[in-house]
Structures are given as structure tokens and as C-alpha cells.
């Protein structure tokens, strides 16, 4: 019997990438193989994100593209998973009756039984926050060879309730996976060829599944033979404890790159965002981190045009960026999220948001290029991931998460090599082999 085909389209963050992998593995146990073409699929699954502007409408637009496929093949099953599924629930099926199943991000371990119900002619909806741990109920990862890098979810949910954010409503309260299960999955990934693992969580440094918190888990992972690199994302400044700060200076396998969102530099706006820290507290935290690891490269998130933001508030954000010097960052105009406190407040005009975003991004781009240019002449360690566009070229990531292109023979994905940086481009570096 020919295997059934599963097409998954993933939106949003790295956690959704991880979730999509696990959903594919769960359905693999039911005889499905993944396909890159929705036209070939027996099931189409959209794994959605609710963070970006008009996220739900974009999902409905994407579903509309599959109406022709569904009409031509009524046995094609279509599902919506992830945070939009959690937020919209039955509304998705009401607006798009061709959708067969809707599953929230905490319930996707139930996909096989939901698919069986749909195959029997019914509809399936599950947006509960189940008491059981979904990771305990997922089938083990197949032993197929993996690429040199992998994501590994260790924490989900958030208790911070930032005024702009839907995550506490779509992902639920903070939950941490027990350390022994994380370590078991990490060893399995390493056996399959993984050399770098990025630990994921909506608020990953709130992890408490190890007695030593996230720092304790990182030190335990550092003992795994064959695992060469550890990263983690995304963090909240209020959960960056002293042990985790110290780990950046003492754990050789923890890479010198940290994504630490601040969102704004104005204390007034930070308070209205319910961030529960000030700009000064954030800056002092950066000082402690750089004292532990002087070469640490920082990344951040910024929202411009938050309700009631004035030009002076925006300038405070620009001042903070100048003080920190970011290696990279993500920046967005504020957009309303129904059900969040900020959505009910006076909004900043769109043209002001546009102007501020352009100015902020220009500053961030200038800082990114400056830090990249400063890498020229330095040696970095690059974990190679895939061939480049040119013959004989390989592409990998430095310890600072820069993309590095190298023209050299005999390099394969998974190799870790010392590279001398020769030039800096807009979004990557170019280097040559420099023997260890």
C-alpha cells in the first residue's frame, strides 16, 4: 500500500518549526510521508502563528488557495494547527467549512486519533490545554540521519502577560519539560548527526525542569559526547539569573550569542507594556552579561508605535539601542491583538509608526554592519550546514550566528572548522580555511 502524503506549511517562530517536525513524526506512525507539494498531499496542515499582524486573515487567505484542490479531491484532508487554531477554534470551521480538523499547540499529540475521526467522515476540534504532557505521548523520533543543527523545545507558555502579546492565551501557562527527557532527546539527536542544539521556549530562561534551572540544563547538556554547541531562545530579562549569566562565561559549549528582547527604551512604555523592568535594569543586565562574556553578540526585539508612544519615548528606544550595540534585531510596528490590554488604548497614527520604524531599522542595520565588518581579519569557528550556491562552496554559522561562506574542498555538512574572515557582505561573511 502506497504511503499517504502530508504537506505542512509552517508559520512563525522556531518553536513552530519544532512542532511541525513532531507532528510529521506523529503522522509518520500513521503511514504518512511528508511532501513539498500541496498538490500531491492527502493531508494539508497549516501550523500557524498569531504574533504577526493580521495573522488569522492570512491563514484564511491561505486556506482559500486550497479550495480548488479540495473540490477536485474531496478525500483531501485539511487541518489548521498552532496558535491561530487555538485563538480561533470553531470560527475557522465556520468560515472555512472545508477544514476537517483544528488542533491547538498543546494538543497536537492527539493528531493521529483526530485524523482517524476525520477519515471516518467527521470533523475534529481540539484546543484544550490537556493535563497530560504532549511530549510523553508523541512517538519517538525516527532514527533517520539529521542535519548538524536542531531545535529542541524545553519550555512552553508564558506567565508574563505583556500587554501586546497573545502567547499566554494561545500557549498557556509556563511549563517545563523534565531534564532527563530533554537529555534523552538531545542524545538521540546527536546519535543522528546533530552537533548544535538550540533550546526553545516562549520564555526559555524561566525553565525549571532541572534543579539548577536553565543553567543547570545547559551544563548537563555540555556533558553529552558529540554535542559541540548549545544555544537558547527566547529569553525574558527578568529571568536572566546569575547562574545563567555565569554560564555564558564558564560553559565552552554555550555560544556567545544571546537573543534578549527589550521591546522599548522608554520606562513609560515599558510599564504600559507590562514588561516589569526598566530600561536601566536592562542596561545593567547587559553589563553583567558582557562582564561574563566580553565577546557576547546580542540580538533583540523592538516594537515601535506602541499605544501612547511619543517622539520622546521613541528617542529613548533609540538611545538604548545606541548604548547596547546589537549584532542583529527584529523590529515591528505595533499592531492590535484582539483580547490584549493594549488593543483598547489610543493608537499611534500609521504614518508615525512607519517613520519611526524606518529610523529604528536604519540604526539597527548600521550597528549590524559595523559588528560584521569588525569580524574581518578574525578567526571564527564555523559549523558547516549545507553547500553554497557556487561550486565547491559551503555555508555554515559562526559561534556568533553569522552566516559564513567558504570556498574549500573536502568540507561536509557537520564539519567544524577554524575560518579566517576575509570580507563582510550585507548579511554574511566570507572566509578561508585556517588550520586549527
Residues in the chain: 436
Which of 189, 343, 318 has its CA nearest to residue 264?
Answer: 318
Grid cell at residue 235: 529569553
* Residue 100 to residues 37, 125, 129, 238, 407, Cα–Cα distance (Å): 19, 8, 20, 41, 49
Task: Give, for all 436 residues of the chain, the pLDDT tens digit.
Answer: 678 999 999 987 777 888 888 888 888 888 899 999 999 999 999 998 876 656 678 888 889 999 999 999 999 999 999 888 887 888 898 899 999 999 887 787 888 889 989 988 899 888 775 555 555 655 555 556 788 999 998 998 888 889 888 777 777 788 899 999 999 999 999 999 999 999 999 899 999 999 999 999 999 999 999 999 999 999 999 999 999 999 999 999 999 999 999 999 999 999 999 999 999 999 999 999 999 999 999 999 999 999 999 999 999 999 999 999 999 999 999 988 777 888 888 899 999 999 999 999 999 999 999 999 999 999 999 999 999 999 999 999 999 999 999 998 889 999 999 999 999 998 899 999 976 5
Contacts of 400 (CB under 8 A, 6+ apart): 255, 256, 257, 295, 297, 327, 375, 380
Question: Residue 210: left (phi > 0), alpha (psi -120 to 50), or beta?
Answer: beta
Which of 103, 104, 105, 106 has its CA nearest to residue 114?
Answer: 103
pLDDT of residue 189: 94
From the CB of residue 53, how many other CB atoms can be counted at a distance below 10 Å? 12
From the CB of residue 98, how many other CB atoms can be counted at a distance below 10 Å? 16
CATH homologous superfamily of 4-126 equals Methylthiotransferase, N-terminal domain (3.40.50.12160)
CATH fold of 144-255: Transcription Regulator spoIIAA (3.30.750)
d(CA 219, CA 217): 5
From the CB of residue 30, how many other CB atoms can be counted at a distance below 10 Å? 17
Grid cell at residue 377: 581579519
The CATH classification number of 379-433 equals 2.40.50.140
User: How wide is the angle at C-alpha 36 spanned by C-alphas 30 and 40, nearest 5°?
Assistant: 70
d(CA 92, CA 37): 23
Paired residues of 345 in beta bridges: none
Contacts of 235 (CB under 8 A, 6+ apart): 203, 204, 205, 258, 259, 260, 261
User: At how many degrees (to 10) do helices 279-292 and 311-324 cross?
Assistant: 10
Please report, to the nearest 10 degrees, the dihedral formed by the alpha carbons of residues 243, 247, 249, 255 taken in order.
-150
d(CA 32, CA 55): 28
DSSP of 365-376, one letter per residue? HHHHHHHHHTTT
- The pTM of the full predicted model, rounded to 2 decimals, is 0.79
User: At how many degrees (to 10) do helices 279-292 and 242-250 cross?
Assistant: 30
- Summarised one tens digit per residue, pLDDT across range 201-226 is 989 999 999 999 999 999 999 999 99
d(CA 145, CA 27): 19
- Phi and psi for 54 in degrees, rounded to 5? 55, 40
Contact 7, 35 (CB under 8 A): yes
pLDDT of residue 157: 84
- Phi and psi for 69 in degrees, rounded to 5? -60, -45
d(CA 303, CA 247): 29
Grid cell at residue 328: 542583529
pLDDT of residue 342: 86
| 141 DSSP assignment | P
Catalogue the long-range contacts made by 393-398 (C-beta closer than 8 Å, 24 or more residues apart): 395/428, 397/149, 397/196, 398/429
Strands (E), 223-296: 229-233, 257-259
pLDDT of residue 131: 55
- Phi and psi for 221 in degrees, rounded to 5? -65, -30
Domain positions in the chain: 4-126, 144-255, 379-433
* Residue 270 to residues 15, 50, 343, Cα–Cα distance (Å): 26, 22, 16
* Residue 141 to residues 36, 48, 130, 200, 324, Cα–Cα distance (Å): 20, 22, 22, 17, 40
d(CA 399, CA 94): 48
If DSSP states are collapsed to H, E and C, what string results for 85-112? HHHHCHHHHHHCCCCCEEECCCCHHHHH
d(CA 94, CA 379): 57
d(CA 43, CA 115): 9
- Summarised one tens digit per residue, pLDDT across range 308-320 is 999 999 999 999 9
Amino acid at each position: 500500500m502506497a504511503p499517504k502524503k502530508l504537506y505542512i506549511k509552517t508559520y512563525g517562530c522556531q518553536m513552530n518549526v519544532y512542532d511541525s517536525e513532531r507532528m510529521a513524526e506523529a503522522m509518520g506512525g500513521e503511514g504518512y510521508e511528508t511532501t513539498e507539494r500541496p498538490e500531491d498531499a492527502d493531508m494539508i496542515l497549516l501550523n500557524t502563528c498569531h504574533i504577526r499582524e493580521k495573522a488569522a486573515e492570512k491563514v484564511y487567505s491561505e486556506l482559500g488557495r486550497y479550495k480548488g484542490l479540495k473540490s477536485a479531491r474531496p478525500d483531501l484532508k485539511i487541518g489548521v494547527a498552532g496558535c491561530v487554531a487555538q485563538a480561533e477554534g470553531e470560527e475557522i470551521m465556520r468560515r472555512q467549512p472545508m477544514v476537517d480538523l483544528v488542533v491547538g499547540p498543546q494538543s497536537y499529540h492527539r493528531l493521529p486519533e483526530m485524523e482517524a475521526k476525520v477519515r471516518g467522515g467527521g470533523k475534529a476540534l481540539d484546543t484544550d490545554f490537556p493535563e497530560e504532557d504532549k511530549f510523553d505521548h508523541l512517538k519517538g523520533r525516527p532514527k533517520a540521519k539529521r542535519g548538524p543543527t536542531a531545535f529542541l523545545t524545553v519550555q512552553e507558555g508564558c506567565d508574563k502577560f505583556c500587554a501586546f502579546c497573545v502567547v499566554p492565551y494561545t500557549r498557556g501557562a509556563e511549563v517545563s519539560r523534565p531534564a532527563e527527557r530533554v537529555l534523552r532527546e538531545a542524545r538521540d539527536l546527536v546519535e543522528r548527526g546533530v552537533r548544535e542544539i538550540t533550546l526553545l521556549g516562549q520564555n526559555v530562561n524561566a525553565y525549571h525542569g532541572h534543579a539548577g534551572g536553565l543553567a543547570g540544563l545547559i551544563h548537563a547538556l555540555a556533558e553529552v559526547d558529540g554535542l559541540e554547541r548549545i544555544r537558547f531562545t527566547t529569553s525574558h530579562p527578568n529571568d536572566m539569573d546569575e547562574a545563567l549569566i555565569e554560564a555564558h562565561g564558564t560553559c565552552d559549549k554555550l555560544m556567545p550569542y544571546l537573543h534578549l528582547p527589550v521591546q522599548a527604551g522608554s520606562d513609560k512604555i515599558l510599564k504600559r507594556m507590562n514588561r516589569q523592568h526598566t530600561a536601566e535594569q536592562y542596561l545593567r543586565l547587559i553589563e553583567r552579561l558582557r562582564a561574563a562574556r566580553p565577546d557576547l553578540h546580542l540580538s533583540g526585539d523592538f516594537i515601535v508605535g506602541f499605544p501612547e508612544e511619543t517622539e520622546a519615548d521613541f528617542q529613548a528606544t533609540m538611545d538604548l539601542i545606541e548604548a547596547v550595540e546589537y549584532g542583529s534585531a527584529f523590529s515591528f510596528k505595533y499592531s492590535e491583538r484582539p483580547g490584549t490590554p493594549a488593543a483598547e488604548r489610543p493608537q499611534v497614527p500609521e504614518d508615525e509608526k512607519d517613520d519611526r520604524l524606518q529610523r529604528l531599522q536604519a540604526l539597527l542595520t548600521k550597528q549590524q554592519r559595523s559588528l560584521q565588518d569588525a569580524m574581518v581579519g578574525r578567526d571564527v569557528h564555523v559549523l558547516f550546514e549545507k553547500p553554497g550556491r557556487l561550486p565547491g562552496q559551503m555555508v555554515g554559522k559562526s559561534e556568533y550566528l553569522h552566516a559564513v561562506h567558504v570556498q574549500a574542498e573536502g568540507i561536509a555538512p557537520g564539519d567544524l572548522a577554524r575560518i579566517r574572515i576575509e570580507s563582510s557582505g550585507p548579511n554574511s561573511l566570507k572566509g578561508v580555511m585556517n588550520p586549527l
